[in-house]
Structure 1
Amino acid sequence: MSACRDLKTSLHRLKAIMAAKKQVIIDTDCGIDDAQAIMMALAAPNIEIVGVTCVFGNAAIEHVCQNVLRVLAVCEREGIPVFRGSGVPLVGARNPVSDHFGTDGLGDVLKDKDPQWEEKIQSEHAVNALIRLVTANRKQVSLVALGPLTNLALAVRLDPSFPQKLKDLYIMGGNMEGKGNVTLCAEFNFAMDPESAYIVLEEFLCPTYLATWEYSCRNALTWEFFEQLIQQDAPAAAFMKVITSKCRAYCRETTSNKRYVYFGSGYVSYDAYAMAACIDGSVVTESITCPVRVELQGSMCRGMMALDQTNELKKSHSVFVLTKCDVEKFSQLLLQSLRQPKK
């Protein structure tokens, strides 16, 4: 009888632990910083990743899917379902993918391709999976969007009630001050599909948190910390050391890019800032609450996000635009993310 009681107690505790975990879906265009963000979520004890949906951006959709599978394999978490999503923007011509993290998104250094990778991707389209998973877990799922917002825009077009079923939404993307990193005035994720960014920020009325380009850059870490991060004795750290080894985005001597011109040198893992906010809200120490809108016109401003702090737009919905973070807490989440798989 005592053994039976102990078993029941253990089961109750396990259920309580699982119930306390935050359910998360990650929508990603998996480049190097996405890989870091995914590993951060995998390492977080309070996070349950219920699915990863893929979108074009840092690489073609085929590379993105393979990159996600690689990250999950390194961390020995291959049981998490991965879904193939949009390979092109919502409207208009196909945008060329970025080579910021190499042509494959992970630094062009990995040669051991998996010929069976397509068999490991779920047959269900990412947009359908988003709708199904969120509908089955109403108000329980946090969606973390790390790439162009095409999958999210398609989800609300197929199911207009989709946003109100979400618990909340975390986005890495957009900008606060018209400083662009791929065009004069626009940040990469929004510039790759401005129409989708516009739709999401107009129609997703759930609590929405924006980790903009300026937020990431202004909370940069030192290159000395980056060396400490990748020199840890764990498979995930070794993987990150390899994929950053020949990538100009992780070269401290680079002085010609826009980030250096605007913000100076430093280590910035963009997508990890949005993921950290989802994992631990106390990482964010300051934010601006206001309506926003994405510009769709103009040769210089298309894709730029405008903050409406004077109520010019008369919108009823505001978002949280993150401005400052606790870099010490953020650093600890990064360090933990590369200590995988747990022994």
Structure 2
Amino acid sequence: MAKKLVIIDTDCGIDDAQALMMALAAPNIQILGITCVYGNASVENVCQNILRVLSICERDGIPVFQGCAGPLVGASSSRTDHFGTDGLGDVIKDKDPRWKEKIQREHAVDAMIRLVSENQNRVSLVALGPLTNLALAVRVDPCFPQKLKDLYIMGGNMEGKGNLTLCAEFNFAMDPESAYVVLEEFLCPTYLATWEYASRNSLTWEFFEELINQDAPAARFMKTITSKCWAYSREAMMKKRGVYFPGCGFVSYDSYAMAACVDGTVVTESIECPVRVELQGSMSRGMLALDRTNTLKKSHKVFVLTKCDSAKFSQLLLESLRQPCNK
């Protein structure tokens, strides 16, 4: 069976690294390229983080492209310390001074357009960060979305509950205009793994301990980068995320979108409806609105994921940290 062709657009923080390793471990996935965008860290740190993950998994041959360093319009939003200042928990001291030589010279947006044009209707695009690169791609090539097979997004929210602002999820809040453009103009089949979807399908903290204590380089790497990160503290998350989702356990946000791409049967329920991103509200800017009553009269609908098969998802996570297989 032919492998599924995938481009991963990422602002590589810890959960992006986990999602990337899930794709690297999947036998049915061929990664054509990885495009980097600002978000969890500066785009320069994102590039370095991706290179480190590929090195850990001994997959250095996958091309990495540097993309947008800020939002489509306006000034950059201030980043949070959710995954540390470098995106990987601020525990890695030995930086690669020659990392720029390992990044492709082609801009991420140009690479995205080229790779999809060379493989029309065969590429799945998985977007794990702010959607700036995608929005710019459709501005450069208005036909870009119709050349995609499908699009998987980690971002947005279903109920107006925010994790960066009062009403907006991080990726959409970082660049609301780009999120708006993508969800209005990308008419390919689109799957949204929202903040609530990930949080409501959390795994136990006991599973997290099992996950990172496997005897493999990728697991040891994940254990290291989560070791001092408050976002992987059970106590911290009970006080923060637990306000909205009592009893919520371990959540690897970006992995939920990646799992849907790797194995569609992981998703057991979804809502198919039009959506729109709010741009004007003083408290709701960046919030995703679900139009379940067809008030907006939009013809295009997206799949907003709601429930997943926890056993299948857990297995994909476990396999993702057993890399490389010969070590």
TM-score by length of 1: 0.94
1:43 partner amino acid: A
Give 1:160's aligned residue: 142
Once the two structures are superposed, the pairs formed by residues 112-123 of structure 1 within 5 Å of their partners are 112-123=94-105
Once the two structures are superposed, the pairs formed by residues 89-104 of structure 1 within 5 Å of their partners are 89-104=71-86
Give 1:282's aligned residue: 265
Match of 1:129 among 93, 104, 111: 111
**1:186 Cα offset (Å):** 0.2
Q: Does the 8 Å contact 1:84/1:125 carry over to 2?
A: yes
Identity %: 79
1:63 partnered with 2:45: yes
Give 1:79's aligned residue: 61
1:277 partner amino acid: A
Per-residue CA deviations over 1:219-248 (Å, capped at 9, x if unaligned) read 000000000000000000000000000000
Match of 1:247 among 229, 236, 243: 229
Give 2:302's aligned residue: 319
1:296 partnered with 2:279: yes
Q: 3-state SS of the aligned residue for 2:292?
A: coil
Give 1:7's aligned residue: none
Q: 3-state SS of the aligned residue for 1:263?
A: coil
Give 2:184's aligned residue: 202
Give 1:224's aligned residue: 206
Per-residue CA deviations over 1:196-238 (Å, capped at 9, x if unaligned) read 0000000000000000000000000000000000000000000
Q: Does the 8 Å contact 2:36/2:64 carry over to 1?
A: yes
- After TM superposition, where is structure 1 displaced by more than 3 Å over at least 4 residues in a row? 255-258
Give 1:235's aligned residue: 217
1:118 partner amino acid: K
In structure 1, list runs of 5 or more residues that go unmatched: 1-16
Q: Does the 8 Å contact 1:56/1:97 carry over to 2?
A: no
In structure 2, list runs of 5 or more residues that go unmatched: none
Give 1:267's aligned residue: 250
Q: 3-state SS of the aligned residue for 1:254?
A: helix
Give 1:335's aligned residue: 318
Partner Cα distance (2:239, 2:286) in 1: 19
2:148 partner amino acid: L
1:175 partner amino acid: N
Partner Cα distance (2:76, 2:256) in 1: 28
Q: 3-state SS of the aligned residue for 2:49?
A: helix
**1:256 Cα offset (Å):** 6.1
Q: Does the 8 Å contact 1:216/1:268 carry over to 2?
A: yes
Q: Does the 8 Å contact 1:58/1:100 carry over to 2?
A: yes
Per-residue CA deviations over 1:53-106 (Å, capped at 9, x if unaligned) read 000000001100000000000000000000000000000111112210000000
Match of 2:288 among 295, 305, 315: 305
Give 2:158's aligned residue: 176
How many residues align? The count is 325
**1:296 Cα offset (Å):** 0.1
Per-residue CA deviations over 1:5-36 (Å, capped at 9, x if unaligned) read xxxxxxxxxxxx5xx10000000000000000
Q: 3-state SS of the aligned residue for 1:268?
A: coil
Partner Cα distance (2:73, 2:165) in 1: 19
RMSD across aligned C-alpha pairs, in angstroms? 0.8
Per-residue CA deviations over 1:149-176 (Å, capped at 9, x if unaligned) read 0000000000000000000000000000
